[in-house]
Structure 1
Amino acid sequence: MKFVARLLLTVLCCSVLSRAEKTLTCDLETSTQKLYCGYGLIVVQNVAVSHRETESCVSGVRPDRLDPPLCSSTPVLHIAQHRCNGRHRCSVRMDLCHSARPCSSRCVWMETTYNCVHGKIHYVCQKHRASLYCGRQVIKVLMANYGRTSKWVCRYSAPHRQPPNTGCTNPDSLKVMSQRCDGKHKCSVRASNHIFANVCPGTRKYLQYSYTCVDPGN
């Protein structure tokens, strides 16, 4: 009986974490769009935006009639994916939508469609190995950074003359992890300067990453 209850809970959990979510942000009402997945991981699927003043939305409702977009929303989609994929929660400022080329006018609203998938964020200290495993499914890396953005993760005693750099990010981390692990059933990556490059000399770094398991070919 306990096994059946546990199985039912798992099914309910999976169905909740796999459904598509939508968040609409009106520029006149808030300056930041927030995405949230609780214990799941965000995977941004699509972003729709409007730069037409006549299509301003009110109280979280966009106009019924929409004209063709003035320009592509792809740059905004890439921004949202970079900031949010693989995280439990994230924020995207509307001014990032305003400044996304080739559009030169303000976004009056932005709607993001995303999924919440199973997974968690992992941390591996420098010189240690990250282990990714998906059984019969294969790995899809969602987010990675080899650097340091927190003084609490992988703490160490730093000399007073050179405190830890907590603004240390490496934009190539996701590319490195994806090339090594995507499409494999299991993968091991060493958190080292040799693999990811030394983007902040003098600071002990750690590898932060998240991934999900997908069916082969997806």
Structure 2
Amino acid sequence: MREKKHMRILEFPSVHTFNMLVQKLSWITLLLFLYQQGAEAKRTKICERGSAHLSCDLGFIKVIKANYGRTDRTTCASGVPANQLSNTHCFRKTSLHTMSNRCDGSKSCTVPAVNSVFSDPCSGTYKYLDVSYDCIPARRSVICEFTQGVIVCDAGTIFVHHANYGRRDLATCTHKLPTRSHCYSPQTSSLRSRCNGRKSCQLNASNSVYSDPCVGVNKYLEVTYSCK
């Protein structure tokens, strides 16, 4: 006896079902687009002798890229002589480090685009500060000098984004009048090795732990972290 061959019949969706699928895909595409737009880093360019103002309405600053110098002839070029615009290979490699020290983990910060902050990478060239940064969702803890504190995750474990022992403003931990507001001693690596992956981490804001980055200045330990 011959075996009957069965033909598989392809069933196509109805017009209504097809339209629903298209609509769903359109919404997914739109949501992805909006997410990508929201996830894009903020960018600011400030001409030499101006000041860069970084801020986050939600979350805390994380500097991604920074350069104090010149990489084109058009930015900050109005009224500037051509010979001060010709060097487009002007980079200050420590710009990211400088901006991170001053701004990471803060809600807002102001940094002057001047040689005294970044040093001069190319004398005779009119420079500008080009900064890209994100606003990351995180928690922030501040521990004044001579005191102890603890960072805690009720759910998940600690991941340290940024830490500094020193002073970055004139308003925090003012048990005595601050003498200056620029004292940076990054402690991110140290606190990551000590606290990451734990539910809680006790911290002591003391010169005996971090050494004294600015003698005579009342300091504080600030930590920005997430619960992963």
Q: Shorter-chain TM-score: what band?
A: 0.5 to 0.7
Query: Deviation at 1:131?
Result: 1.5
**What is aligned with 1:47?**
66
Query: Deviation at 1:87?
Result: 0.7
**What is aligned with 1:20?**
41
Query: Deviation at 1:114?
Result: 0.7
Q: Deviations over 1:175-214 (max 9, x none)?
A: 5434423465543222233322355678765422323456
1:167 pairs with 180, 189, 192, which one? 180
Counterpart residue type for residue 133 of structure 1: C
Q: Secondary structure at the match of 1:79?
A: helix
Q: Secondary structure at the match of 1:74?
A: coil
What pairs with 1:181-200 in structure 2 (closer than 5 Å)?
Answer: 181-182=195-196, 184=198, 186-198=200-212
**What is aligned with 1:10?**
none
* Bigger Cα Rg: 2
What pairs with 1:110-149 in structure 2 (closer than 5 Å)?
Answer: 110-125=129-144, 126-133=146-153, 135-136=155-156, 138-146=158-166
CA contact (8 A) 1:137 1:213 kept: yes
CA contact (8 A) 1:133 1:186 kept: yes
TM normalised by structure 2 equals 0.60
Task: Label 1:69 to 1:177 Cα distance change in 2 as closer, same or farther (>3 A).
Answer: farther
- Pairing 1:109–2:109 present: no
* Structure 2: stretches of 5+ with no match in the other structure: 1-34, 79-84
TM normalised by structure 1 equals 0.63
Count of aligned residue pairs for this structure pair: 186
Q: Secondary structure at the match of 1:113?
A: strand
**What is aligned with 1:95?**
114
* Structure 1: stretches of 5+ with no match in the other structure: 1-14, 60-65, 156-162
| Distance in 1, Cα, partners of 2:123 & 2:113 | 13
Counterpart residue type for residue 129 of structure 2: M
| Distance in 2, Cα, partners of 1:68 & 1:152 | 42
Q: What is the percentage of aligned positions where both structures have the same residue?
A: 22
| Distance in 2, Cα, partners of 1:17 & 1:190 | 37
Q: Deviations over 1:157-185 (max 9, x none)?
A: xxxxxx65543845254454344234655
